[in-house]
Amino acid sequence: MNLPDTGAGRGPAAGRSDVWVYAALSYTIIIWGINIVMLKWLTPYFDVVVLSAIRMSIAFVCIAAIARGLGARVPRLNRGQLGWVALGAVFLVYLNQICLTQGLVWTSATNGSLILGLNPLLGVVAGALLFGEALGLRRVAGLALGIAGAAMVVLSRGDAALQTAGLGDLMVVGAVLTYTAGSICIRRAANTVHPLAIGYYMHLLGALMLTTHALAMSPWREETVFFPGIWPWTVILISALCSTALGNLSWSYGISRIGIGRTSVFGNWLPVTGLLAAVLFLGERVYPAQLAGLFCVLSGTYLVLRRSRAKQ
């Protein structure tokens, strides 16, 4: 059985309803916000590269199991397709995971969340410059409103005072840049490759890169790496399956269906979902300014995603 058709190859203008795409992307941003809390909780138990290698390896196994459960045969890629997917694995799996995880260890949550809020801006700009995706005044206004709302959410926290930029901030900036570069590679491959196949090969190659890196490090050979306790391994499994495997598959699906620009705007939600995760798991309070920021994010996302009546 071949992989089912999801519109790959027809571009963002495919005629079917985008409701399922928006639902998948909403799930992704929610679980990614929770994943920030999980990653920060896991870092005392694992080295950054080892943690990334374990998570990506589990994620690949999950994606392979999903393909098998669907009765789908993952197709072989030609040289050009494999090149884009491999490049996406370098940026979106290997480099992004190292930069993001290490950055969240070194920098404050405020700085990290604020810098990650730059993802939608770079995504929309990349989609406009490289793929000809429309970038009208309404979308620019919506994007600015969403980023302003995300910044308002982050800066309204009680401990949200911007600190001197440090190495951790630079690492998170690197995560933003590698994320955007990886998304561009996915967008290139998504014209002719099914999102499930992209996720399969990208996580296979990314996991091999991270595992090779981890095997060369002494922390991998320490006994505590494999016996940190039942809860760290439980959290890793949840992170790898729900966030990395399902989240990245949904994100690739969104890019293949509605383009990198419209998909990236969902990144405006990341500081919001991260804050809600902190409230749920850490007991932090929500202030009126944060609710105002949430309204801005919702309004900005609506402006960017809303189509004109003529196009509808």
Could you tell me which residues come within 8 angstroms of residue 51 by beta carbon, excluding any fewer than 6 positions away? Answer: 39, 42, 43, 45, 101, 236
Name which of 268, 54, 309 is nearest 152 in CA terms.
268
Please check whether residue 44 is in contact with residue 224, taking contact to mean a CB–CB distance below 8 angstroms.
no
Looking at residue 148, its pLDDT comes to 78
**Is 59 inside any structural domain?**
yes
The helix/strand/coil state of 2 is strand
Higher pLDDT, 224 or 144: 144
**Is 8 inside any structural domain?**
no
The helix/strand/coil state of 73 is strand
Higher pLDDT, 239 or 225: 239
**Is 26 inside any structural domain?**
no
User: Longest Cα pair distance anywhere in the chain, in angstroms?
Assistant: 63
What span, in angstroms and rounded, lies between the C-alpha atoms of 139 and 232? 41
**Is 10 inside any structural domain?**
no
What span, in angstroms and rounded, lies between the C-alpha atoms of 13 and 311? 10
**Is 204 inside any structural domain?**
yes
Determine the average pLDDT of the residues in 215-227.
64
**Is 29 inside any structural domain?**
no
Looking at residue 109, its pLDDT comes to 59
**Is 192 inside any structural domain?**
yes
Domain count, the chain: 1
Please check whether residue 257 is in contact with residue 6, taking contact to mean a CB–CB distance below 8 angstroms.
yes
For residue 287 the two structure tokens come to: 């202030």
**Is 18 inside any structural domain?**
no
Determine the average pLDDT of the residues in 54-66.
88
Domain interval for residue 163 = 36-305
- The model's pTM is 0.71
Range scoring the smallest mean pLDDT among 81-85, 108-112, 273-277: 108-112
| 226-254 per-position pLDDT tens digit | 667 788 889 999 988 898 888 878 887 88
